[in-house]
Structure 1
Amino acid sequence: MCEYIVQHDVKEGFEALFNAAQNQNMSGAFGLADGSLHRTCEPQHSRNVIKPNMYVDAIRSRNGLLECLKVRWGWKPFWSMGTMPPMTHLPLHLVMRSRVFDRLKRDGRMLIAVDGWYEACEVEQSKNSPRLSYTTSRQNGPIFLAALAQASEHFNGCDGLALVTHDETSTRQQRLLAFTAEDAQVWLRPDLQWDQAQDLAMHMALAEPQLEHVLSSTRSLRGR
């Protein structure tokens, strides 16, 4: 499961997504919300490690316009307030079959442009293990993670974002639903149906050998 996200150049990811949409679908491509990027995306360090309950820069589509906004990583649905910790991940198959998520999957689909992410090493599941695996793309450019979020105009305690995972066929494990810029914009289409979302995960999600994994230590993340 993803422990940390590394996000640095939000403007690069925002523009990569916009350009890919323009190149692939000139008749129905996304536009840019006036001033949205400059209003919501602040300069960041070259390696910005984001942990649960911190704010991440997310991209969404509203009325055909792309906009960027800050959302807390960790969603607290109203029906779980006080009974369970914020949700940081949501399996795609669960979201697809439960009506509880109807509003979220209709209005809350977002993308997060990242350099990569850290997760616990599969061969070292012990709680005392200090080893993490850093996953990034073998290609130049950002990776786009699919997410679902509640983001109210006026912040309330429920607002937050969860990363979407899917069942990877080769390993039978839940993996982050990640895309290139060319494929990611499909996730934001307002007419996306959930059988199409499943097909998107099966045939367009980033997988081996498109990803590179590097072992790391939790010590390198302390103090960030």
Structure 2
Amino acid sequence: MKLVKLSLAALVTYTLAYSAEEKTELDVGGNLIFSNNSIWRGMTQSKNSPVVQGEINLEYQNLYFGITGSNTKSDGLEARSEFDFFSGYADEVYGVGYDIGAIYYAYPKSSKEANFADVYLGLSKDFEVLKVGAKFYRGVKTNDLEVSNAWETSLSIPLPMSISFDALYGDYADVGNYYSVGFTKPINDKFKVAVSYTGINKDADGIDEENVVAMVSASF
């Protein structure tokens, strides 16, 4: 989901996929994330300012639905908040997880041209000594906004003391190559902390970005 985009990379290795375990009842959950920055595909979405992100999600069998909300700040947007609506289906075949879904990014109080969407396909595999994943995003044209495609690969390696090393590399077509590396540590069943180094090498005359992001998340 788009908001503390880096945080999802750190906490779940940029969507190595939702759990493939089939749900037999309707599960309701969510999380609250505090971060010093909001990163999406290597780019700050908050002008390097702190953000608070909340998410509510529903899971039934292999289907999931949810909404994520956060404060945002950009020179090109009037909006000071962002809401992302997502839905998908996740399962596992022969030990390989797959995740098919869509995300709609909405910016209240901005022109409709600012809103856009992605559909995605993710694959993941847990080798116990490491988890690997790959994901492709197909940009969906909305409100006359041309949206580029993107792909990314990720890995997560478990370390002593329940720490994980997480890394991601991706390409955002016509924008640049983005990356993140970091560590995640659960405090208990509800809280996690993470720190990551993230950035993007932009194509053409774009300005490259590099950031160190620290965050705390609480799940419920």
Fold conserved (TM > 0.5)?
A: no
Please give the TM-score of this superposition, normalised by the length of structure 2.
0.29
Please give the TM-score of this superposition, normalised by the length of structure 1.
0.29
Question: Which structure shows the bigger proportion of residues in helix conformation?
Answer: 1
The structure with higher relative contact order (CA 8 Å, sep 6+) is 1
